[in-house]
Amino acid sequence: MCKIAQKGAEMKEKLLEEFRRVFGREAENVYFAPGRVNLIGEHTDYNGGHVFPCALTIGTYAAAAKNDDHTVRFYSMNFKDKGVITANIDDLKNERSHDWANYPKGVIKVMLDMGCPFVSGMDILYFGNIPNSSGLSSSASLEVLTGYVVRELFGLEIDFVELAKIGKKAENEFIGVNCGIMDQFAIAMGKKDNAIFLDTADLSYEYAPIVLENAKIVIASSNKKRGLNDSKYNERRGECEAALEKLKTVLEIHSLGELTEEQFEANRAVIGDPVKERRAKHAVYENQRTIKAVAALKANDIEEFGRLMVASHNSLRDDYEVTGLELDTLVEASLAQKGVIGSRMTGAGFGGCTVSIVKTEEVEEFIRNVGGLYKEKIGYAADFYVVDAGSGPYTL
């Protein structure tokens, strides 16, 4: 048995055993959905632009079984102190005391509202190896996984694009975070050794192989906790929407993602607010950077890809103002290291992670040096993950 298969078998048995302990019966199966990292294209998804994420080989697992009553019982091995959280499927609402379980509750509520035929409740046990609040989409992974579990348990005919849409709807309407589709789409549609070049305006996409000769993707978690709901995420989105409305008075457009840099520069004055101008500038330029970055990757120009990553971070720092001391420290320390091709914050910002492309032979020293510099300046440690592009949801 290969190491990956052995690890999967061990994880499956671990979850089955814990399910027996918690619920006193057997699970029907064990399921997995990945986390994701966005290589470039940040805060463009809700602006009708392009993104370039890939699913990861780390993510969220669930053991589940239908039950004989009308309740859903949730348990997380990551939040054992919360115990079993129980909800009636006829009365699913966002309850502060239910904490993390509001995410799967939201997905189930959306599926019920769609008319999905649930004939019973269910018991679901979760375990995730994505750092919480890291920017690697632990919440979207949980949402897509829950949709996949329900699909499998009840034999529903729902494709993976629809699972992504269900997760986004749950996050928008049940949780109250006005996120775009990128996270859920990347997780649902992940393909091993590929990233997804996605046009969020119409959900057209193509897979692009991640061919990094003698280089690795290294994620650094700042360990500064942040929640999208508590951040300025919705505020940034509102600023972009306000800028778009002003631009619509002189241009026939539906989103900022339709503009080239030249079109934006020729019309930016109509926005009439310097802050909103900067927000819109980021959305427009970041979209074009993403298009150029994928073209560079296809041409095997990894140096240009890295340059565009750095330009992305600078724009997120200066024009969008979503980086902060922790993420800026990680990127600055990363770019000072030998063998680094590119580095940038990834995710919504305000904490979370950076993603760097590092020459394989320099990875160990990179982690040691960046980790040391970060702890010295910030006062606590960062965590590092050398990752590969993984697949979307599957049954173990």
Helices (H) and strands (E) in the chain, counts: 11, 13
Two tokens, residue 119: 């004939």
Spatial neighbors of 317 by CB under 8 A, at least 6 apart, are 323, 328, 345
In our burial notation (b when 16+ CB lie closer than 10 A, e otherwise), range 287-313 reads bbbbbbbbebbeeeebebbbbbbbbbb
Q: Give the length of the chain.
A: 396
CA-CA-CA-CA torsion sign (267, 272, 274, 276) = negative
Q: Which amino acid is at 332?
A: E
Q: Rounded to whole angstroms, how far apart are CA atoms 122 and 105? A: 12
Element (H, E) at 307: helix 302-318
Residue 202 CB coordination number (10 Å)? 8
Beta strand segments in the chain, E: 29-38, 50-51, 53-66, 71-76, 85-88, 122-128, 194-199, 204-209, 215-221, 340-346, 353-359, 383-387, 394-395
Contact indicator for 126, 75 with CB cutoff of 8 Å? yes
Q: Rounded to whole angstroms, how far apart are CA atoms 216 and 246? A: 42
> Does residue 69 have an active-site annotation?
no
Annotated catalytic residue, options 183, 193, 199, 388? 183
102-113 and 160-169 helices, crossing angle to 10° = 110
Alpha helices in 206-269 (DSSP H): 233-247, 261-267
Q: Rounded to whole angstroms, how far apart are CA atoms 356 and 222? A: 13
Active site residues: 183
